Amino acid sequence: MRKWLMLMWFVGLLGTTPVFAVQPDEVLPDPQLEARARTLSRELRCMVCQNQSIDDSDASLARDIRVLVRERLTKGDSDQQVLDYLTARYGEFILLKPRFEMQTVILWLMPAAFVVVGAAFLIVIARRRPRGGEEAKLTPMEEARLGAAVRGKDE
């Protein structure tokens, strides 16, 4: 029984190993160019999967973009030229980390704005909350009613 459990555990571990989408036929012979291509591939979004880089995606469009990146690098383009080319072709959405520009300023500043608004909200709530150490003062009408209730019980 123990051997079966160990075997099932081992098979489960095999299923959790990371899968690399880059196929052997895509790899460039020059290791420096390949390293640049892999770095760029990690910065580009798969247009099909949308939350994966093209380096991790098995989608055919991701493969096409990986091949395109490698073609541009072998032609002599710099990393920035490759990113500019793909951004012009697919839009800012292809970048996993969008650039800080006028069109993306809301995207970059919104998390900070939420934190500031949330902190201000908590400060306002904390200031409006009554302090625990202070005694609440009764109005004269409440004191009279309390006195009548106490006298009524004592009799």
Per-residue exposure over 98-119, b if at least 16 CB sit within 10 Å of its own CB, e if not: eeeeeeeeeeeeeeeeeeeeee
Tally of structural domains, the chain: 2
Q: Is residue 43 part of a domain?
A: yes
Q: Per the confidence metrics, is the pTM higher than 0.85?
A: no
The domain boundary, picked from 79, 97, 115, lies at: 97
Provide φ and ψ at 70, rounded to 5°.
-65, -35
d(CA 106, CA 130): 37
Q: Is residue 141 part of a domain?
A: no
Print the domain residue range for 51: 17-97
Task: Encode pLDDT of 97-137 as tens digits.
Answer: 877 777 777 877 888 999 999 999 999 998 887 666 667 78
Can you give the pLDDT at residue 102? 79
Q: Is residue 86 part of a domain?
A: yes
Indicate the SS3 state at residue 101: coil
Residues 44 and 106 placed together within one structural domain of the fold: no
Task: Encode pLDDT of 69-91 as tens digits.
Answer: 989 988 988 989 999 999 898 88
Confidence of residue 14 (pLDDT cuts 50, 70, 90): low
